[in-house]
Amino acid sequence: MPDSLRFTEAVRFRRPPGERPSPDPLSMDKLKIEGGVPLRGEVPVAGAKNAALPILAAALLTDGELQVANVPQLADIATMAKLLRGMGVRVERSGTDVVVRADAVTSTEAPYELVKTMRASVLVLGPLVARFGRARVSLPGGCAIGARPVDQHIKGLELLGATIRIDHGYMVAEAPRLKGTRIVTDMVTVTGTENLMMAACLANGETVIENAAREPEVVDLANCLTAMGARIKGAGTDRIVIEGVQRLGGARHRVMPDRIETGTFLVAAAATGAFGAADVLLRDAAPQTLDAVLDKLREAGAVLEAGANSVRVRMDKRPRAVSLRTAPYPAFPTDMQAQFMALDAIGEGVGRITETIFENRFMHVLELQRLGAHVAIEGNTAVVQGVPALSGAKVMATDLRASASLVIAGLVASGETIVDRIYHLDRGYDRVEQRLAALGGRIERVK
Ligand code: EPZ
């Protein structure tokens, strides 16, 4: 058991140092980037945000103590902690170790003020209904990248026996003990699969989720739930079978590496190869969870070496523009689409990037055009004509992965780029500018 999982008494009861405050959306932090330097060196990859979020919510399923290691220090994690604490859940954080205990829950409500800042808050719905028989969770509302409704979460919980009504913008759910059943989601939904899998753990009898999401984060959650005593088969396939149990207990779990952060750094390194020999090693990674991304990087001309828990990228020429089509795992992840558009923007040739998951995930196009990118949008396809060089400009982040795309573009643009509204970036990347600077990138955070 790695030391980081060995919780000493001291860690468990020491007052956790102040958590990284979730950045104030009005904060005017900006990133100043001077492009043109090939990235070289070694950085560690943090734990996966999209695994840690459902895992923290899973603590609601038990009165036992859930000890979670390798939790990334991000704004979204701080938001989830705030949401849980608002329900009377004990959340103690010490660095990347978090101890959660829901043995004195005082509220089963997820307020609009928090849900509107982070859609993943909806992940408390399944556990609350399953353990307490009731929940009042704000509808998330729209989001920059699309409508992102939660109708499948509701449909699945109703099939499990809950009654859910919409009241003043809130989903109000009530349920006797949930009853196992067969659920076929209309489309592949990651948090929908996670919510329903968590709820089914405490249902009476067997639940089968068909058309389930196969993302590695779903598997990581299933592994944690199993450690808590759940009986789950098929996580990682499109058919998950859950045998309900009476109760779940506490457990220890180490969050998987963040595959999207890994992919983001790999693309940044490969893009800077146009300026010289880029050579970056990412430690504590899980390369087997991002095969589709590695394949595309090789197609762009990068040399990749995947180890058991590391991945190295080398590139010493301008990338070739690549075409891709986003789709549910194991196909190319939508969360890497914007990053590849920045790579294509300076690539040789033309790349056709098709987004099939979200209906409005091309907001980075307008900003990339300000940096000199030649991109034309045809329906849900962006046609990127690579140019030899981008030129620095002031640009604005609009959502998490678009921000990453603009940082990558800034690293390869000649002159100075200022990326504004980087609170979007802080939601999913922990001090990314420090790690990019450690790799030689000329990047700093300015107020
Ligand atoms: C998860 O969002 C991720 N977030 C997203 O990452 C990721 O982009 C997305 O999966 C797709 O991989 C977390 O895991 C916290 P979906 P989620 O439900 O679960 C539609 C990031 O950058 N849909 O798989 O909200 C939906 O509108 C974030 O870290 C319904 O119509 O996505 C979308 O078009 C961004 N009804 C598609 O399905 C529903 O009830 C896939 O959405 C649910 C989803």
Dihedral angle of Cα 109, 114, 117, 120, to the nearest 10 degrees: -40
Q: Would you say 71 and 93 are in contact if contact means Cβ atoms under 8 Å apart? A: yes
Out of 83, 137, 154, 189, give the residue to mutate to test ligand 1, the one with the largest number of ligand atoms within 8 Å of its CB: 189
Q: Which atom of ligand 1 is nearest to the CA of 155?
A: 40
Q: Which residues touch 139 (CB under 8 Å, ≥6 apart)?
A: 115, 150, 166, 169, 170, 171
Q: Give the model confidence (pLDDT) of 12-37 as tens digits.
A: 333 344 455 445 555 689 999 999 99
Q: What is the pTM of this model?
A: 0.94
Q: Does the structure show a pLDDT above 60 at 8?
A: no
Cα 69–282–98 angle (5° rounding)?
A: 10
Closest atom of ligand 1 relative to the 54 alpha carbon: 15
Q: Which atom of ligand 1 lies at the shortest distance from residue 328's CA?
A: 12
The pLDDT confidence band at residue 144, using thresholds 50, 70 and 90, is confident
DSSP state at residue 338 = H
Q: Atom 29 of ligand 1 has which residue's CA nearest to it? A: 50
How far does residue 237's CA lie from ligand 1's centre (Å)? 17
Question: Does an H or E element contain 285, and which?
Answer: none
Quote the ligand 1 centre to 193 CA distance (angstroms): 10
Going from the Cα of 308 to the center of ligand 1, the distance in angstroms, rounded, reads 28
Alpha helices in 363-428 (DSSP H): 363-370, 400-412, 423-426
- Paired sense of beta strands 170-174 and 163-167, if any: antiparallel
Query: Choosing from 5, 143, 363, 389, which is the catalytic residue?
Result: 143
Please tell me the predicted confidence (pLDDT) of residue 145.
Answer: 79
Taking CA atoms only, the protein residue closest to ligand 1 atom 25 is 191
Centroid of ligand 1 to alpha carbon of 148 (angstroms): 7
Measured in Å, residue 192 CA sits from the centre of ligand 1 at 8
The binding-site residues of ligand 1, defined as CB within 6 angstroms of any ligand atom, are 49-50, 53, 119-120, 146-153, 187, 189-192, 334-335, 357-358, 400-401, 428
For ligand 1, pick from 49, 50, 399 the residue to mutate: most ligand atoms within 8 Å of CB: 50
In this structure, which residue's CA is closest to atom 8 in ligand 1?
335
Please, what is the angle between helix 259-272 and helix 49-58, to 10°? 170
Q: What's residue 143's pLDDT?
A: 75
Query: By alpha-carbon position, which residue is closest to atom 18 of ligand 1?
Result: 189
Phi first, then psi, for residue 148 (nearest 5°) are 50, 60
Interval 188-225: pLDDT, tens:
999 999 999 999 999 999 999 999 999 999 999 999 99
- 245 in Cβ contact with 230 (< 8 Å): yes
pLDDT tens digits along 296-328: 999 999 999 999 999 999 999 999 999 999 999
Ligand 1 centroid to residue 443 C-alpha, Å: 31
Residue-wise pLDDT for 145-194, tens only, equals: 777 799 999 999 999 999 999 999 999 999 999 999 999 999 999 999 99
Give the position of tokens 């430690």: 283
Residue 88 phi/psi, 5-degree rounding, is 90, 10
Work out the burial of residue 15: count CB atoms within 10 Å of its CB; fewer than 13 is exposed, 13-18 middle, 19 or more buried: exposed
* pLDDT tens per residue across span 355-398: 999 988 999 999 999 999 999 999 999 999 999 999 999 999 99
Instruction: Please give the distance, rounded to the nearest whole angstrom, from the Cα atom of residue 333 to the centre of ligand 1.
Output: 11
Residue-level pLDDT at 10: 36
CB burial class (10 A; 0-12, 13-18, 19+) of residue 181? middle
Q: Is 224 a catalytic residue?
A: no
Q: Which pLDDT score, from 0 to 100, does residue 26 have?
A: 55
Average pLDDT over residues 31-51: 97
Atom 7 of ligand 1, residue of closest alpha carbon: 335
pLDDT reported for residue 360: 86
Angle of helix 49-58 versus helix 190-201 axis, rounded to 10: 30
Nearest protein Cα to ligand 1, atom 1: 190
Instruction: Enumerate the H helices of 173-252 as residue ranges.
Output: 190-201, 216-227
Q: Using CA positions, which residue lies closest to atom 14 of ligand 1?
A: 50
Q: Which residue has the tokens 């600077």?
A: 437
